[in-house]
Amino acid sequence: RHTLYFADPTGKTVVPDPRYVAVSEPDQLATELVSKLIAGARPEMDTTVRNLLGPPLRLRGPVTRADGGKAGIGRGYGGARIDLENLSTTDPHSRQLLAAQLIWTLSRSGINGPYVINADGAALDDRFAEGWDTGAVAATDPGAVDGAAAGLHALVGGSLVRLDGQRAPRVAGPFGQMPGQTAASLSRTGREVASIVTLRPGAPDMASSLWV
C-alpha cells in the first residue's frame, strides 16, 4: 500500500490518500504514483483537498533517475526526475505545494531524492534546478503538523466518516450517525467537531443549523 498526498484547503500541509498500487517492476512505481496524483484524489476526498497536479497538467514521459537513466529510480543517490507539461500554476506558493505533493508521495514510498522537477522544459523553481529534497518542503510535512493524528475525514451520505485505506467507517458518536450534514470541520486534535446540518434541502422551508 502506498500513500498519495494532496494539499489541504489552507495550503499549509498535505494530507494522505492511501492507495493500493501494483507494478510489475520497481522502477515503474514512481511513474504510477505520479500518474495517480495527476488523476486526482478519490471521489469522497475530491471536495476537501486541492490537487496542484490536476489537468491540464500531465507527465511528459515516465519518471526517470535524476540523470535520465531508466534503472534504479529513487535508489541510492539516483534520485528521480519528473517532467511535466501544461503547467498553469505561476505563483511560487502553489508551485511549492505542487512539489510537496510529489516529494512526500515519492519519499514516503521509498523513492529517494534528489527530485528534479521540470515543467514545460524548465525547472519548476530555479532555486532547485539541481533537485529538491524533503527539507525544501519541510513546512508541509504531513507528519509534523500538530494534530496530524486526527487523520483524514470526509462527509459521505451526510455523515462524518474517517478515511482508513480503502475503508471509510463512520466516526463514533452523533456526527457519525446524524444525516444531512453538508459541511464539517475538525480541530487539529480531532477532539472538536463542528458541522452544518441542512434540513429539508431544496424545500421552501429549508433550514440549516450548526452542531458543535
Q: Is the pLDDT of residue 136 over 80?
A: yes
Sequence-ordered list of residues with C-beta below 8 angstroms from that of 113, at least 6 positions apart, any chain: 74, 79, 80, 103, 106, 107, 131, 132, 133, 134
Q: What phi, psi does 91 have (nearest 5°)?
A: -75, 145
How does pLDDT run across 63-104, given as a tens digit for each residue?
999 999 999 999 988 999 999 999 988 899 999 999 999 999
Query: What does the pLDDT look like over 38-61, one tens digit per residue?
Result: 999 988 888 889 999 999 999 999
- Segments in 16-126 forming alpha helices (H): 29-39, 92-107
pLDDT for the residue 119: 96
In the chain, where the domains are located: 2-140, 148-211
**Model-level pTM?**
0.70
pLDDT tens, 137-166? 988 888 764 444 556 788 888 888 887 656
Q: Is residue 207 within 8 Å of residue 199, measured between CB atoms?
A: yes
Give the pLDDT score at 96.
Answer: 95
